[in-house]
Amino acid sequence: MEEVEVLRERAYSFLRNAKRLYEEGEYDIAAFCIEQFCQLFLKYKLLVKVGAYPRTHSLMRLLRELDSAAPGGGLSSFIDSELMSITRVEDAYIVSRYFPRRYERGEVEKLLAFAERFEEAIKDV
């Protein structure tokens, strides 16, 4: 159970950090923190539901795994309706770390709004 709590706490720490970095104008690292929040939150939920999670960084794979573990939980419709946002956040894992591309304020603002919708969709699964 300690691992479960650690993942949940770290996920929310990344979300808080993303919001702080956004306010400070550090958009690249804020985008990375949003991805980390989503990834760790999914791994936390999978650990609670099935006792394990796949060793992957893919948000889509983690979402599909959680959807399989909680059929009827509404994740399929969330995935379908948020597909573009999911892939943008998933891309932030690589882009914010390795590519010479800068995130803009508006982009991160949209990623933060997605993170709120994501949390709402996942928290009760």
Report the CATH number that the domain containing residue 64 is assigned in CATH: 1.20.120.330
Residues of the chain with pLDDT under 50: none
CA atoms within 13 A on the CB side of 2: 0
pLDDT at 47: 96
pLDDT digits (tens, 9 = 90+) for 30-44: 999 999 999 999 999
Contacting residues for 109 by C-beta, under 8 A, at least 6 apart: 22
Looking at the 3D structure of the chain, how many domains does it have?
Answer: 1
| pLDDT of 1 | 76
Whole-number pLDDT of residue 111: 98
Q: What is the pLDDT of residue 74?
A: 84
What does the pLDDT read at residue 72? 81
pLDDT the model gives residue 110: 98
